[in-house]
Chain A
């Protein structure tokens, strides 16, 4: 455990609500290198509250990188400069004494800012509600071992399913495209035998809602994969595209 504190300048996005105009506000802090960046914000807020000032609103929950609640743009990058971690896993020892850090919310048309660093990501759930499931009711299932699934395919489905729904892919994309997020769910089911019956209807339904909600088109620049805390591969986007094109020619069509 390190003793020496880091003195930092923070420029944090403050915005009263979704209708107001926001701006950066500067704060000086002195933090332990063992703190996570969210713990640094906790301490900043504690100090603000003591002075009777409004704390910085930001969201987090598990602080273990799995719930997908936290998501800040740190020095221009969703979840900050390190790869394959969520914001909550970024520790201050990765910054230098005297550094200035810019902290802002995820920016995307489909993610309106609600207050300070909190954005509304409910559009992602709407895409899942359109088709991100296998249509089975509870009960009466065949034995779990009745369907053998090759280990590699199950592992590939798992890698797609590891998405935490944080929205960093959308925030990283110039077009604010949700293709990585949507394709991860499409791929998980496309890779598994259980997902086959609805495979081609599912992809059409999800893409339709995705487009309606204001997410942009894929830029093919792979910024999404680079910023994804779980390293979800852009191969999933290729799979979605293949399935979507095939669906438009070979299966029952969804009006788009």
Chain B
């Protein structure tokens, strides 16, 4: 058992962060350059952290497996970033953003962290504008906002459908400036494969150079992981091809507890699967739900063309079930409803898809207005599917998109391994059981720009960690372990490709640990994953050499970790005998099919401690709600 100390500061929620900032220890500017900090990952959280720490004077070593920091998957975020600016004078406030986020997360997030997130949200927008991020503006020259699911105010800042791109390029520009100045040393095309823990504290990392195949050792006074989420455990997800769980998973195996692994977000509006060769899924922005109506036929196996299905035979199921939020119901609820009608045999033309129809909006507003609002997205749709959504309804289907779970961190964003900090999607901290749209970008940048620069200084000043040279025996031991795994992978020489096994795992996860979960399914998923893990080590075929660019080897290493993580996700889902947010246990629902949360028994963060492959011990961090009283999360 690990003693979990969330280190939530005392005092009223609105004063916690301010007081904490004052109480934390500082390092004087001349001493900062004596500290080395490793940052792994260069998405919004990693790039903003590396840049900010470099500006403060620390020696930063930033790592990415990409050829350039700018490729990190934050770049793909479309819709926007939330901030409690209340520029629209529509009743927004720090407290309301805090409230919406706690409620949206179905009361499974830590209040103090969420409040801080809301509190610094306004600074993020100021910072981005100062960097030259070209947000959308009104004719008067001021910033424009739009609304997103789960909120009744307009607090989302955006840059067309490319907000993530513009924010990341802003953060990377700050990073580039520090690289130019020499405060940050950038290591491209290097993949972190393990963390080195000595005397219980993080002292460095081991990476594989993806060009030469060399296994390399790097040491530092502290290590920051900002390596994103693990939705690719499903094989098909909206995540980029290279997104993976390896960095956080291997840190988990070195002692970092894993928080709420079963909390995954299935995004309702993605393009359906086209066939076996499909490599990933494409998201269509949630903003489409502002004007598109979601429906299926009232009849089972209705093979008619959608335009030939008369109005009275259509079921606009979200509008029917959730009249006050309708097509803009939160993501978890919208996805689950789509699954329900498809399980009922009413998918579009018998397929796994529902219609997103703009016919009524085009009739009401004219094609030109729809084109102005969504032209870009309609083009993407047509490029991919070959169908014109102005004439035929889009076909959409839910897809794994984001993982709320991640490494457990305290209020300072430090994991249970001292000196190992975790930022952004890689940690579990702010979104509870369901993330609201436009909040991931906010969290990534909050962690990197405005939280870690303070809390890491406190760690360094309080613990005074020593720098361990890389010729220390433990560094060599960990590196040797990785080299052995590489050799083992290359020597199996079985009959199955890495992708083939990954796809099998994805199918198990999607069918049994996806949108709907039940005890029997989860138990059989655990068995199947264990069998698949054995099969992997008997039958995987990894061609090529260790000392070369070898993408098959890279993928194989990641799949090893998915095969372990997948089991933990099922184990976590099985122990959580309730439905909340993205975690829907079919046994726990109201008569109308709504999720039935169990606050009496499950108002905690499940933090899993690694014991051995396939073996964990559950630790619980109780959640207390002082400011937002848990209630049934109704969007009716």
The proximity string for A residues 55-91 relative to B, scoring 1 for CB distances below 8 Å and 0 otherwise, is 1010111111111110000000000000001000101
Hey, which chain B residues are within 8 Å of A42, CB to CB? 277, 279, 499
List the B residue with the shortest CB-CB distance to A42: B279
Q: Known contacts A49-B552, A118-B549: does B129 contact A129 (CB below 8 Å)?
A: no
Evaluate contact between A194 and B130: CB separation under 8 angstroms.
Answer: yes
List the A residue with the shortest CB-CB distance to B133: A161
Interchain nearest-CB distance for B207 vs A (Å):
17
Evaluate contact between B129 and A141: CB separation under 8 angstroms.
Answer: yes
> In the bound complex, what is the Cα–Cα distance between A38 and B242 (angstroms)?
14
> In the bound complex, what is the Cα–Cα distance between A36 and B383 (angstroms)?
10
Hey, which chain B residues are within 8 Å of A135, CB to CB? 177
- CB of B466 closer than 8 Å to a CB of A: no
List the A residue with the shortest CB-CB distance to B74: A67
Evaluate contact between A145 and B127: CB separation under 8 angstroms.
Answer: no
Hey, which chain B residues are within 8 Å of A91, CB to CB? 383-384, 386
- CB of B70 closer than 8 Å to a CB of A: yes
Evaluate contact between B277 and A39: CB separation under 8 angstroms.
Answer: yes
Evaluate contact between A1 and B274: CB separation under 8 angstroms.
Answer: yes
- CB of B275 closer than 8 Å to a CB of A: yes
List the A residue with the shortest CB-CB distance to B160: A158
Evaluate contact between A46 and B70: CB separation under 8 angstroms.
Answer: no
Residue ranges of A at the interface with B (Cβ–Cβ < 8 Å): 1-2, 17, 31-36, 38-40, 42-43, 46, 48-50, 52-55, 57, 59-69, 85, 89, 91, 93, 114-115, 118, 120-122, 124-125, 128-139, 141-145, 147-151, 154-155, 157-158, 161-162, 164-165, 188-189, 192, 194-195
List the A residue with the shortest CB-CB distance to B161: A66
> In the bound complex, what is the Cα–Cα distance between A60 and B554 (angstroms)?
14
Contact segment of B162-170, B214-222, B331-339: B162-170
Q: Known contacts A46-B500, A139-B127: does B176 contact A129 (CB below 8 Å)?
A: yes
The proximity string for B residues 71-100 relative to A, scoring 1 for CB distances below 8 Å and 0 otherwise, is 101011000000001010000000000000
30 contacts between A and B (CB under 8 A): A31-B277, A38-B279, A46-B497, A53-B543, A55-B544, A57-B551, A62-B240, A67-B71, A69-B71, A89-B383, A89-B384, A118-B549, A120-B67, A121-B67, A128-B173, A129-B176, A131-B180, A137-B52, A138-B48, A138-B453, A139-B450, A144-B125, A144-B143, A149-B137, A150-B137, A151-B141, A158-B166, A161-B134, A189-B132, A194-B130
Hey, which chain A residues are within 8 Å of B136, CB to CB? 154, 158
List the B residue with the shortest CB-CB distance to A3: B275
Hey, which chain B residues are within 8 Å of A125, CB to CB? 68-70, 176, 186
Interchain nearest-CB distance for A210 vs B (Å):
14
Q: Known contacts A54-B544, A66-B75: does B275 contact A1 (CB below 8 Å)?
A: yes
Hey, which chain B residues are within 8 Å of A69, CB to CB? 66-67, 71
Hey, which chain A residues are within 8 Å of B544, CB to CB? 54-55
> In the bound complex, what is the Cα–Cα distance between A163 and B595 (angstroms)?
43
> In the bound complex, what is the Cα–Cα distance between A138 and B500 (angstroms)?
45
- CB of B603 closer than 8 Å to a CB of A: no
> In the bound complex, what is the Cα–Cα distance between A97 and B162 (angstroms)?
35
Hey, which chain A residues are within 8 Å of B380, CB to CB? 64-65, 89
Interchain nearest-CB distance for A29 vs B (Å):
11
Hey, which chain A residues are within 8 Å of B498, CB to CB? 49
- CB of B126 closer than 8 Å to a CB of A: yes
List the A residue with the shortest CB-CB distance to B386: A93
- CB of B174 closer than 8 Å to a CB of A: yes
Hey, which chain A residues are within 8 Å of B159, CB to CB? 158, 161
List the A residue with the shortest CB-CB distance to B174: A133
- CB of B455 closer than 8 Å to a CB of A: no
Evaluate contact between B132 and A63: CB separation under 8 angstroms.
Answer: no
- CB of B278 closer than 8 Å to a CB of A: yes
List the B residue with the shortest CB-CB distance to A33: B386
Interchain nearest-CB distance for A32 vs B (Å):
5
Evaluate contact between A66 and B76: CB separation under 8 angstroms.
Answer: yes
> In the bound complex, what is the Cα–Cα distance between A235 and B126 (angstroms)?
29
Hey, which chain A residues are within 8 Å of B186, CB to CB? 125
Evaluate contact between B67 and A35: CB separation under 8 angstroms.
Answer: no
Hey, which chain A residues are within 8 Å of B383, CB to CB? 85, 89, 91
Of the candidates B68, B122, B385, B548, the one having the most CB atoms from chain A within 10 angstroms of its own CB is B68
Q: Known contacts A68-B71, A157-B134, A158-B134: does B85 contact A61 (CB below 8 Å)?
A: no
Of the candidates B73, B76, B279, B450, the one having the most CB atoms from chain A within 10 angstroms of its own CB is B279
List the B residue with the shortest CB-CB distance to A60: B241
> In the bound complex, what is the Cα–Cα distance between A13 and B122 (angstroms)?
50
- CB of B435 closer than 8 Å to a CB of A: no
> In the bound complex, what is the Cα–Cα distance between A55 and B126 (angstroms)?
47
Evaluate contact between B142 and A67: CB separation under 8 angstroms.
Answer: no
- CB of B140 closer than 8 Å to a CB of A: yes
Across the A-B interface, the 8 shortest Cβ-Cβ residue pairs: A148-B141, A133-B173, A141-B126, A158-B134, A34-B274, A61-B240, A144-B129, A138-B52
Interchain nearest-CB distance for A147 vs B (Å):
7
Hey, which chain A residues are within 8 Å of B423, CB to CB? none
Partner of B165, one of A55, A66, A195: A66
- CB of B590 closer than 8 Å to a CB of A: no
- CB of B280 closer than 8 Å to a CB of A: yes
Of the candidates B48, B166, B176, the one having the most CB atoms from chain A within 10 angstroms of its own CB is B176
> In the bound complex, what is the Cα–Cα distance between A98 and B279 (angstroms)?
24
Evaluate contact between B130 and A134: CB separation under 8 angstroms.
Answer: yes
> In the bound complex, what is the Cα–Cα distance between A137 and B179 (angstroms)?
14
Evaluate contact between B143 and A145: CB separation under 8 angstroms.
Answer: yes
Q: Known contacts A118-B549, A150-B141: does B126 contact A144 (CB below 8 Å)?
A: yes
Hey, which chain A residues are within 8 Å of B495, CB to CB? 50
Hey, which chain B residues are within 8 Å of A133, CB to CB? 131, 173-174, 176-177
The proximity string for B residues 385-405 relative to A, scoring 1 for CB distances below 8 Å and 0 otherwise, is 110000000000000000000
The proximity string for B residues 196-220 relative to A, scoring 1 for CB distances below 8 Å and 0 otherwise, is 0000000000000001000000000
Evaluate contact between B87 and A192: CB separation under 8 angstroms.
Answer: no
Evaluate contact between B76 and A136: CB separation under 8 angstroms.
Answer: no
- CB of B411 closer than 8 Å to a CB of A: no
Evaluate contact between B543 and A138: CB separation under 8 angstroms.
Answer: no
Partner of A194, one of B71, B129, B137, B386: B129
Q: Known contacts A35-B275, A134-B173, A192-B134: does B68 contact A165 (CB below 8 Å)?
A: yes
> In the bound complex, what is the Cα–Cα distance between A179 and B128 (angstroms)?
26
- CB of B60 closer than 8 Å to a CB of A: no
The proximity string for B residues 38-75 relative to A, scoring 1 for CB distances below 8 Å and 0 otherwise, is 00000000001001100100000000001111110101
- CB of B434 closer than 8 Å to a CB of A: no
Hey, which chain B residues are within 8 Å of A64, CB to CB? 76, 282-283, 380
> In the bound complex, what is the Cα–Cα distance between A167 and B135 (angstroms)?
25
